[in-house]
Structure 1
Amino acid sequence: MARFFYSVILYLLSPLILLHLWLRGNKAPEYRKRWHERFGFIASNNIKKNAIIFHCASVGEVVAATPLIKKVQLTYPNSPIIITCNSPTGTEQIKRSFSGTVEHVYLPLDFPCATRRFIKNLKPKMICILETELWPNLIAQSKKQNIPVILLNARLSEKSLAGYKKIAPLSQSMMQGITQLAAHDQNDAARFIELGLDKHKVVTTGSIKFDIKISQNISEKVSRIKQQLIQKHPIWIAGSTHPGENELLLKTHQALLKSYPNALLILVPRHPEQFDKVADLISSANLSFQRKSSLSDSCTSQVLLSDTMGELGILYGAAQCAFIGGSLIERGGHNPLEASAYGIPVITGPHILNFLHVYPELLKAQGCLKVDSSEQIITLLQQIFSDESYGENLGRKGALFVQKNQGAIKKTIEVIARHLK
């Protein structure tokens, strides 16, 4: 009954949902394409049946899940893989990460007819959902067709738990449809159990986001970028930045240039529709800049604007310090582990709600520094760049923190294998 009312409300809101997608197309035109997939219509002749489906909401989940999915490809070479997502940026990341070795479609909107059509067309062997993308009709239709639904890298904050409790009948129905859940830690596991999940369905695997391997291929790309930036020192990077944050970081860099005239800021906006807008901001700040897409030789400017997708993990390796975006404004922050894996000090703003499963322990391990305002960033940058051993010590502790928490992919593969037999 709860799912019935949920579906009715969803249908009533559908004009607003579709309008939202259309309006997002003003900034990202790809949102106005492939709408048939949003309703579960799949060109099934081109998509292999009986595949393992991995659902990754957007870019962050795709990046985190890539090492896991590649390990599944190696472990089960005869099992086709489909990766679904919700956004065009997620689509682009899938293309870059897998180079055509997986299939990709959008996950349909959670209408009963759309999810039923989606499952009927693809007949998946298993659906693996990353993080906490809980869709009642998708889970219910999968259960009806005896398709295992596995929640991987699952986490549930106290705030989210309180929200799901407000719709307890619907939440309990979803919990009944989950076959297995691999939780970050015991606290997350306990929250899902409190929500109604059978405790026998829960295992604790840790977070796959820690399982970062800097391959030889990536190391070679980092070396090439360092060679292009050899004329600049010191170098700091601001990754996954948002509107309202870029302006503050450019002011910080202007202040840093007074002490370090040859300093370079690598600025990496979170969304591609921001590239040109950020370029205008840099010009307005009277800072010289080059675009990463047109950097063929060496960088001699004060700012390097990363206007390409999928290179953030490589660009972190070219810097001596990293600021993690989405944290000076109320966006909840982004993943600091890619930067920490390179052994460089990490700075974050006060807004880290999205990564409370990472930041508190990283801060405790002294591999990260937290500021309350952009004014404090300049003080830390000057300290890090003037005292080499101080920066190296911070970076070393961050890298050690990442290494100590690795191993989740191996445990997660075991969970998947259990339901593929």
Structure 2
Amino acid sequence: MKGLKTPAYRQRIFERLGFINNIPVPIIWVHCVSVGEFRAATVLIDQLILNYSDHRILVTTTTPTGSQAVLEHYQSEVLHFYFPFDLPIIVNRYIKQINPAICILLETEIWPNLIHALNKNNIPSLLVNARLSQRSLEKYQKFAPNLAWKTLNKFTTIATQNQNSANRFIELGADTSKVVAVGNIKFDQNPVADKTISKKIQSIAGKRKVVVFASTHKGEEAKIIDAYLNHKDNIDALLVIIPRHPERFNEVYKLAQKHQLNVIKRSSNKPCKDCDLLLGDSMGEMMSYFDVADIVFMGGSLNNTGGHNMLEPAALSKPILFGPNVFNFAEISSDLLERGGSIQASNADDLFKSIAELLADTKAAKALGKNANQYFKSQQGAVDNLIKQVESALHP
């Protein structure tokens, strides 16, 4: 439905309908729905390129921003198409054209018609970095229990991020022999900031400390701005808000102006000596924002989105804050809290109290970031485990 409403989704529509060129070489197909999943998958894709030089890697995405990220990152090193609509006639046409040796789906991409078609054609399929929250489990059990277990058991392997997700997939009906907890590939990332970009952002901030609000959603920015205005006297720092969706950049800019904040856009490249807020309206610069940050808040957690990936700032030893709703990252957020690597705020007002305390206590902020980084490093190794699963599926 989104493709009918959003012009960007109608571009290259024939790919989504399965009208793609035949590929006469062995293919390893990797699907990542959007930018976040693709970013996480690069460590796996890099290893696939290295280990399977006799294959071409095909990376598909659903969103236009995901497509842009693939093309910018790999250029011609991998093949790239949009993911097909999950209708039998379309997925069968798609599979016939690419004839993959294996299909690797990331995280929660469970598409019944595609998985059935792969199974029917004896093509191994892996759900990797798989996660299943308690909330999602209950929804499947309530609305589609039969479809869920039938689909799950057509996978060759379901490789989960942790044992809790593995247990939930089994509870949903997946055969225990198909489910294995291998760890989260996001811990195997080696996120590197572009120092040239970091310097540009730092020059905008000047000598002030920087508080980054990453991947915010509709409704969150208003809460953040209201709370900031209430605590402004105790916040001697530049706020940087980076909305999750680019189409909302102007909306957030106007919201800040409406509240009479002195706001500039990152795209303007102007210094920000006296401004309150920098709007991160640039693409592909998140690691540089994290790099210059003194404190990072992960969005999608003050509303009901369920939070976003906290591991990139953890990799850079940044103190991490998030709101009450982090059900998409329940285990990671719980582990970070337990290890003293993050702070969870109950609301926006509580959030700014914590920000003020950390700005005033540099030692506490650094300890928080150090603990986050130690946790990040302790969880690495999933990619090596996944390569073994891929090899086993290709050569049973």
- TM interval, shorter chain, is over 0.9
Secondary structure of the residue aligned to 1:356 is helix
Superposed displacement of residue 74, structure 1? 2.1
1:181-192 correspondence to structure 2 within 5 Å: 181-192=158-169
The alignment's C-alpha RMSD in Å is 1.9
Secondary structure of the residue aligned to 2:100 is coil
Aligned counterpart, 1:172 = 149
Secondary structure of the residue aligned to 1:366 is coil
Superposed displacement of residue 378, structure 1? 1.7
1:14-413 correspondence to structure 2 within 5 Å: 17=1, 20-23=2-5, 25=6, 29-42=7-20, 44=21, 49-166=25-142, 167-215=144-192, 218=193, 220-221=195-196, 223-225=198-200, 227-229=202-204, 231-261=206-236, 263-295=237-269, 298-300=271-273, 301-413=275-387
Contact 1:148/1:178 (8 A) holds in 2: yes
Deviations 1:224-248 (A, max 9, x none): 2464246141110000001111112
Superposed displacement of residue 251, structure 1? 2.8
Change (3 A) 1:191 1:112: same
Aligned counterpart, 1:8 = none
Cα distance in 1 between the residues matched to 2:231 and 2:75 = 40
What is the aligned-residue identity percentage? 36
Cα distance in 2 between the residues matched to 1:232 and 1:41 = 54
Change (3 A) 1:142 1:233: same
Deviates more, 1:283-292 or 1:334-343: 283-292
Contact 1:96/1:310 (8 A) holds in 2: no
Change (3 A) 1:400 1:173: same
Contact 1:238/1:268 (8 A) holds in 2: yes
Aligned counterpart, 1:7 = none
Contact 1:53/1:82 (8 A) holds in 2: yes
Change (3 A) 1:336 1:67: same
Normalised TM-score (structure 2): 0.93
For structure 2, which runs of at least 5 residues remain unmatched after alignment? none
Contact 1:148/1:179 (8 A) holds in 2: yes
Change (3 A) 1:286 1:221: same
Secondary structure of the residue aligned to 2:153 is helix
Superposed displacement of residue 157, structure 1? 2.0
Aligned residues: 393
For structure 1, which runs of at least 5 residues remain unmatched after alignment? 1-16
Q: Which amino acid is the alignment partner of residue 311 of structure 1? A: E
Normalised TM-score (structure 1): 0.88
Cα distance in 1 between the residues matched to 2:197 and 2:338 = 29
Contact 1:48/1:80 (8 A) holds in 2: no
Deviations 1:45-90 (A, max 9, x none): 5x56431111111222111112221222122233211111211121
Change (3 A) 1:378 1:195: closer
Deviates more, 1:282-291 or 1:396-405: 282-291
Change (3 A) 1:250 1:330: same
Change (3 A) 1:99 1:303: farther
